[in-house]
Amino acid sequence: MPERIRRAVPGDEVHITAMIRELAEFERAIEECVVTEEQIRTALFSEKPVAYAHIVEVDGAVAAMAVWFLNFSTWDGVAGIYLEDLYVRPAFRRRGLARTLLEALARECVEHNYTRLSWAVLNWNVNAIALYDEVGGKPQTEWTTYRVSGSELNSLASSGG
């Protein structure tokens, strides 16, 4: 099984968008996934990208992806990577591809002197949690993630001064 991991290049937005939709279906939220190939192309490959991606190919087939962006720690004054999506297509699972992607992102951190690699996982995704525990990930139980979106975001934006 020859596998190759690489940074995403223009043209990969087709595969990345498809895998994002597959992931949304896996996470039981396909109705919320409205992203287009054009949006992914712009996000990844514009003059000022807001996200980055790695792809794993197995025997020439796109098998897995990691989509990530930089964040910043005010406490240590250094950037880090936030892993937005890690997805391995079902036919390629149990081959270590998710771990391969995590290793590539860890190398990205080390090579650029980033101080952390962060991500979130659904509480019911026990297979992913097992991998994350295995690679030394630590759940951040002292923090609760919040989000404002949709009508609440619009309402907040239009309130006050």
- Domains defined along the chain, listed by start: 3-158 (3.40.630.30)
Name the pLDDT band for 149 (thresholds 50, 70, 90).
confident
Q: Which helix (H) or strand (E) holds 133?
A: helix 126-134
Percent helix, strand, coil in the chain, to 5, is 40, 25, 35
Is residue 50 within 8 A of residue 63, CB to CB? The reply is: no
Give the whole-angstrom CA distance, residue 17 versus residue 97: 19
Give the whole-angstrom CA distance, residue 17 versus residue 108: 23
Predicted local confidence at residue 80, as pLDDT:
96
Q: Which two tokens stand for residue 103?
A: 């290793």
pLDDT digits 0-9 by tens, 74-90:
999 999 999 999 999 99
Closest CA to 78 of 115, 108, 112: 115
